Amino acid sequence: MDKFFKIIERGSTIRTEIIGGLTTFFAMAYIVFILKFIFLTM
């Protein structure tokens, strides 16, 4: 994975990238859930 994305070469770690991806995923899922709730109550 590191060979393809050159993560370490760019000053990051695989762990940091995974945490960043999960954070982004959960933030987007939360936004979709909240927007759905908001539009259903209108």
- pLDDT at residue 2 is higher than 90: no
- pLDDT at residue 18 is higher than 90: yes
Q: What's the total number of domains in the chain? A: 1
pLDDT for 40:
87
pLDDT band at residue 26 using 50, 70 and 90 as cut-offs: very high
How big is the chain by its Cα radius of gyration, in Å? 16
pLDDT band at residue 42 using 50, 70 and 90 as cut-offs: confident
pLDDT band at residue 9 using 50, 70 and 90 as cut-offs: very high
For residue 31, give its domain range. 2-40
Closest CA to 18 of 26, 33, 3, 40: 26
